[in-house]
Structure 1
Amino acid sequence: MSDSDGDEDPFYDAVEYLAKAGPMDLGTGIEESKLAISLFMNNRFAEARALLKPWADESMYHALGYGVFEFLEAVLTFEQQHIESAAETLEQSVQVCNKFRKKNSMYESLGKIVRRPNYDALTEEEIHAELCYAECLLLRAVLTFIEDENLISFVKGGLRMRSCLKCYRECWNILRYRNWDGSLHKDHFESGVRMGVGAYNLLISMLPAKIMKLLEFIGFSGNRETGLGQLHLGCDLAGSLRQILCSMVLLGFHLFVSYVLGYGDGDLVLAERLINQQLSSFPDGVWYNFFKGRLEYVKGNVNPAIEWYSRAWQSQSEWVQFHHLCYWELMWANCFKQDWISSRDFADLLLHESRWSRTIYGYQKASFMCMMSEKLGRFETAELLQLFKDIPGWKQRIAGKSIPMEKFAVKKCERFFAQGNKLILPAVELLYLWNGFKVLGKQGDLVRPLLALVERHVRDLAREKDGGGGFYVDNLCLLLLLRGMCLRYLDRVGEAEADFLGVIAYEKQLLHDAYLVPYSTYELAMSYWSQGNTQGAEVTLENAKNNYKGYALESRLHFRIHSALSELRASRSVGQAGGTTSNGRKTSVPFL
């Protein structure tokens, strides 16, 4: 145990058993919430929850904090009883926060349309209640999207998001126009407003253009630079209640979103600074050990990443759901090393312990087993066959629609049997689809063995051309795309572009994997861009966006195209007057 842990333990123990006496004031509520966050970050989850629960029906900050813990458990487990419990808790949290909000008369509500309200007339409790109410609404809206698998849930979630946005706008105006002289809790309020405004802008800005246009029509808009800027300001408010949460949102963006959804590299210098700051306070905390593992992972430092992920996984056993995050990362880290056995084992743990998507986990396990099919014994071969038979039955439907990656997995199961119980490099295909080459490509020592593996399969496929069962062109195009990716990251750009163009040339001969052509078109555009041909890159990206419809994982590619076009156009607008951003909006005022 570190010295810092030793210093804090008596304080935790003293507060932990305080009797409930008299009403909870705002200042004490904030301080106990800060303590609960510290307990949570030090893996003391039950103590954090126990600290908040007694006051969750009376204090806005206790209600919010307790709702957050219930929400996290629901999202991490994806089990119906936890989702229902979290929904009930958050409904109560919304009601508790609403009790403390300013109640406007009809005259006051109409007056707000023509003149700015007098925010100095609000009490500190009322302004913090407005913020806590917005945060509870946001959590409740997100939970609504996964609570029931029907369209009504999405409508309810959308309406709650609109209410949440309205509250955040009000909080933003309070922050800007209130006289804060003498306020004891401004930093706590400000960090919450900047976190909410920042996360909201960041979330909306990541959506593809066609979805953005629809959301703008109904009153939503978002800007990535504004979002990041607000979160940075929230992180700078040392000691504020939501400073840690601002840093976690930033780390989530720079270490995950930037790679999964196709944005450019995250700010790894900032990420390392934030992680080291928090590790000094929470050296054994699962979250920042996990973030440290992810930092090493995105740098391509696979072995250190595995060590940090393992440390995070083994640091606590109270919330096993955190283990699943580590298993997912460890599965891919071992895949980078072509350690198919370890990757299969982590996929198996996810399949049996996590309820997120048995179809995806099952197909990943099957894919890793296919990579070592020549070494499988009779029992394992039977297990593999049974797995491919079971996977389609695990497919889910959300709001009446299938999850795209699950649909992809089911199609591949059908393909496995149609091809005589085999698939061509399915794990490497998944690695590509999850944008793993963006990380893998940073280490030539990882790319070269993968290129050798792909080229061996190209040679094997050529020998089996006449016996391919009608899948020869599809399999060849997959191998060309994968080989092109390896070559591109080894700076053999001309050869890479030839492979991408080769896939595009086979467009009319593809029978099943139509997604390979638009994805190869996107990769060709990225290759042009890396060579400084920005005009060719933009034209090719527009082709990838507009010329192909109805293929597998279309939305996933559109996220990447949206990101690339935004970055490309932003690079041209640098230096223009007016502070415009990558999507051409002003950065001065959020929500506009």
Structure 2
Amino acid sequence: MNGSDTEEDQDQDDFHDACETYDMPTDMTLEKAVEEAQLAINFFFNNKFDEAKNLMKPYCHSSMYHAVGFSVFSFLEAMLTFEHRHIVNAGEALKNSLSVCNRYRKKNTIGESLGKIVKKTNYEQYTEEEAHAELCHAECLLLKAMLTFMEDETLSSFIKAGIKIRSCYNSYKECHQVLLNRSWGKSVTKPHFESGVKMGIGTFNLMISLLPTRVIKLLEFIGFSGNKQLGIQDLQKGYAMQGLRQILCVMILLAYHLIVVYVLSHQEGDLKLCEKIITDQLKLYPQGVWFLFFKGRLEFMKGNLNASIEWYTKSWKSQEIWPQFHHFCFWELLWVNCFKMDWKQAGVFATNLLEGSRWSRTMYSYQKAIILLMSSDEPTKSEKVVIQNLMKDVPKYKQRIAGKSLPMEKFAIKKAERYFAQNETLILPVIELMFLWNLFKLLKKNFKMAENVLKLIEKALRNLTYMVPLNKYDKDNRALLMLLKGACLRQMASPLQALECLEHAISLQKEILEDAYIVPYAIVELALLEWDAGNKEKAILALEDAKYDFVFVKVAVQIDHKFFCF
């Protein structure tokens, strides 16, 4: 018995006695369970969250699909609220789901287990229920791993979650073999099973491919696979099917192409595919909060600021049952309004996040403070007091995951310290944060937007030139502005001017006191200039320099992502 089995058995034991008191349902067939799960999905994506959960509840102790469905809805509530009671409830639901799934999974005798070592598994021996139970079991393990991380953000939780994820991946691989090697005949449940396999294997391939190269090599050594193209292909096949998990393939594809790609790389998402998917889904779920949100994100990524505000607002106002979902919309609306330089409206959403969301009060405090700083050249006395208090609050809410601070929270804390050390000023802090969140790539979609950002940078450079007396952070500030100007000009297709600015930023390396991230990021921008010009070898060499020469820079993780996500 391996380590993952031990973890899995532990999850099962807590509910073993309770689950034995439930009889196997005589009125709930596999086909009917799948039908009710599909109905629950339709309820859920039409914002009827309570109806979806209540439909799953009556059979959640006896039917695998009802158990998994109830767990998924409980998990989403925990993820959105981050409240302890919801996390506990989700954990209980998932333990129950694992127990129910294990009851239906294929049981091997000792002889059959030993036989696997010397001969191939006979997948014809799997019944349909056993095949679906293996798939549902894999899905529960993945959610349980994610919940373990939410329950306790320590190193031991990481290890426990990792064990569950490995067991989950092995279950998906087993399901893939069942799909390929079992005779399904005219089974009406096969499309539902196949869409789940495509979703699971595709998601693992895609997500693992996004990790740093050294991590991928380690994971491949212990049996994982990280092929991005295969992952996307599987998810698109799952999306093209009319299976139960088709909607999950849809959500993952949209999240990848509209969010992950834009945060973690310098590539573009497949916006045409997203347009098609969203159009289709909005016909089915015209008031669905998720697809209204993705429509807003699609317009934002196209540079259509007013359209994105319209769709994000529709998403925000489409439901009140889960107000926590509003925070996703508030985050996006904050940044859309920052690009519009509507600092007052951006401040409204910054306040909403700070007062209502539990995700990162460190970032929310910092963001509200810097938006107030950008609102006017000379803040009023009362505004200064508010900004001071917000900056003092920034370090109070610092989080640690697996014993380590979050890089962007550490950045915010350093900048809050700089604010006080620099006579209560910061240089274009919102534009700096836009750059670090990888939002500058939107500038090439909207020339007016890019021009407005460039004007702000040039104005700040002029002010810095005439600043008397100079403070000790003058070179840090100048290097920052040169980096921002160079990055902006690159997006505006002015490579020679961009090159001049970036080289200026790099030339200040030895005079920079604190902002060590500026030079490696400038090198990344130089590499991207080379890449845009078709000089791929030069680009890769420059990126290798940024990756290895600045290994001790606190933003090394982001550099690594930028490097290998080409």
TM superposition score normalised by structure 2:
0.94
Equivalent residue for 1:484?
486
What CA distance in whole angstroms lies between the structure 2 residues aligned with 1:319 and 1:376?
Answer: 36
Equivalent residue for 1:456?
459
Query: How many pairs were matched up?
Result: 543
What SS does structure 1 have at the residue aligned with 2:445?
coil
Deviations 1:551-585 (A, max 9, x none): 23221221111112xxxxxxxxxxxxxxxxxxxxx
Question: Which residues in structure 2 correspond to 1:346-495 (within 5 Å)?
Answer: 346-374=349-377, 376-464=379-467, 466-468=469-471, 470-495=472-497
What CA distance in whole angstroms lies between the structure 2 residues aligned with 1:167 and 1:37?
Answer: 24
Moved more, 503-512 or 415-424: 503-512
What CA distance in whole angstroms lies between the structure 2 residues aligned with 1:475 and 1:405?
Answer: 19
Matched, 1:189 2:189: no
Matched, 1:326 2:326: no
What CA distance in whole angstroms lies between the structure 1 residues aligned with 2:229 and 2:342?
Answer: 39
Aligned residue identity for 2:427: I
Equivalent residue for 2:282?
279
What CA distance in whole angstroms lies between the structure 1 residues aligned with 2:62 and 2:196?
Answer: 20
Equivalent residue for 2:502?
500
Deviation at 1:355, TM superposition (A): 0.4
Unaligned runs of 5+ in 1: 1-19, 565-592
Deviation at 1:118, TM superposition (A): 1.7
Question: Which residues in structure 2 correspond to 1:31-110 (within 5 Å)?
Answer: 31-110=35-114
Equivalent residue for 1:3?
none
Equivalent residue for 2:15?
none
What SS does structure 1 have at the residue aligned with 2:76?
helix
Deviation at 1:465, TM superposition (A): 5.7
Deviation at 1:221, TM superposition (A): 2.7
- Picking from 511, 516, 519, the partner of 2:518 is 516
Deviation at 1:113, TM superposition (A): 2.6
Q: Which has the higher contact order (CA 8 A, sep 6+)?
A: 1
Deviation at 1:114, TM superposition (A): 2.7
Deviation at 1:375, TM superposition (A): 5.3
Equivalent residue for 1:128?
132
What CA distance in whole angstroms lies between the structure 2 residues aligned with 1:145 and 1:550?
Answer: 27
Question: Which residues in structure 2 correspond to 1:169-208 (within 5 Å)?
Answer: 169-208=173-212
What CA distance in whole angstroms lies between the structure 1 residues aligned with 2:322 and 2:85?
Answer: 16
Deviations 1:208-237 (A, max 9, x none): 112222323333231100110000110111
Deviation at 1:314, TM superposition (A): 0.4
Aligned residue identity for 2:495: V
Matched, 1:292 2:295: yes
Change (3 A) 1:49 1:375: farther
Indicate conservation of the 8 Å contact 1:71/1:83, yes or no. yes
What CA distance in whole angstroms lies between the structure 2 residues aligned with 1:91 and 1:556?
Answer: 36
What CA distance in whole angstroms lies between the structure 1 residues aligned with 2:475 and 2:216?
Answer: 36
Equivalent residue for 1:237?
241
Change (3 A) 1:524 1:383: same
Deviation at 1:413, TM superposition (A): 0.6
- Picking from 548, 551, 554, the partner of 1:549 is 551
Indicate conservation of the 8 Å contact 2:204/2:225, yes or no. no
Indicate conservation of the 8 Å contact 2:75/2:147, yes or no. yes
Question: Which residues in structure 2 correspond to 1:212-231 (within 5 Å)?
Answer: 212-231=216-235
What SS does structure 1 have at the residue aligned with 2:197?
helix
Deviation at 1:267, TM superposition (A): 0.6
Aligned residue identity for 1:152: S
Indicate conservation of the 8 Å contact 1:198/1:229, yes or no. yes
Deviation at 1:149, TM superposition (A): 2.4
What CA distance in whole angstroms lies between the structure 1 residues aligned with 2:279 and 2:222?
Answer: 41
Indicate conservation of the 8 Å contact 2:266/2:441, yes or no. no
Deviation at 1:435, TM superposition (A): 0.6
What SS does structure 1 have at the residue aligned with 2:377?
helix
Aligned residue identity for 1:77: T
Deviation at 1:547, TM superposition (A): 1.2
What CA distance in whole angstroms lies between the structure 1 residues aligned with 2:522 and 2:88?
Answer: 43
Deviation at 1:22, TM superposition (A): 4.2
What SS does structure 1 have at the residue aligned with 2:565?
helix
Deviations 1:234-258 (A, max 9, x none): 01112x1011111110011110111
What SS does structure 2 have at the residue aligned with 1:46?
helix
Matched, 1:343 2:338: no
Indicate conservation of the 8 Å contact 1:335/1:343, yes or no. yes
Indicate conservation of the 8 Å contact 2:547/2:556, yes or no. no
- Picking from 271, 283, 299, the partner of 1:268 is 271
Equivalent residue for 1:528?
530
What CA distance in whole angstroms lies between the structure 2 residues aligned with 1:243 and 1:177?
Answer: 22
Indicate conservation of the 8 Å contact 2:258/2:301, yes or no. yes
Indicate conservation of the 8 Å contact 1:465/1:472, yes or no. no
TM superposition score normalised by structure 1:
0.90
Equivalent residue for 1:256?
259
Aligned residue identity for 1:202: L
Deviations 1:56-83 (A, max 9, x none): 1111001111111111111112222222
Question: Which residues in structure 2 correspond to 1:159-170 (within 5 Å)?
Answer: 159-170=163-174
What CA distance in whole angstroms lies between the structure 2 residues aligned with 1:202 and 1:68?
Answer: 21
What SS does structure 2 have at the residue aligned with 1:532?
coil
Deviations 1:392-434 (A, max 9, x none): 1111111211111111111111000000011000000000000
What CA distance in whole angstroms lies between the structure 2 residues aligned with 1:358 and 1:125?
Answer: 46
Deviations 1:20-64 (A, max 9, x none): 984421111100000000000000001101111111111100111
**Which contiguous aligned blocks of 4+ residues in structure 1 show a shift greater than 4 angstroms?**
20-23
Equivalent residue for 1:145?
149
What CA distance in whole angstroms lies between the structure 1 residues aligned with 2:116 and 2:278?
Answer: 43
Deviation at 1:263, TM superposition (A): 4.6
CA RMSD of aligned residues (A): 1.3
What CA distance in whole angstroms lies between the structure 1 residues aligned with 2:68 and 2:306?
Answer: 39
Aligned residue identity for 1:35: L
Deviation at 1:388, TM superposition (A): 0.5
Equivalent residue for 1:581?
none
Deviations 1:364-388 (A, max 9, x none): 1111111124353332221111111
Indicate conservation of the 8 Å contact 2:365/2:390, yes or no. yes
What SS does structure 1 have at the residue aligned with 2:423?
coil
Moved more, 74-83 or 415-424: 74-83
What CA distance in whole angstroms lies between the structure 1 residues aligned with 2:275 and 2:40?
Answer: 25
Indicate conservation of the 8 Å contact 1:257/1:263, yes or no. no
Indicate conservation of the 8 Å contact 2:25/2:62, yes or no. no
What SS does structure 2 have at the residue aligned with 1:352?
helix
Deviation at 1:517, TM superposition (A): 0.6
Matched, 1:119 2:137: no
Deviation at 1:467, TM superposition (A): 2.5
What CA distance in whole angstroms lies between the structure 2 residues aligned with 1:98 and 1:301?
Answer: 49
Change (3 A) 1:26 1:478: same
Indicate conservation of the 8 Å contact 1:138/1:160, yes or no. yes
Aligned residue identity for 1:63: A
Aligned residue identity for 2:397: W
Question: Which residues in structure 2 correspond to 1:561-576 (within 5 Å)?
Answer: 561-564=563-566
Deviations 1:66-125 (A, max 9, x none): 111111111112222222221121111111111100011121112223322221221111
What CA distance in whole angstroms lies between the structure 2 residues aligned with 1:277 and 1:233?
Answer: 16
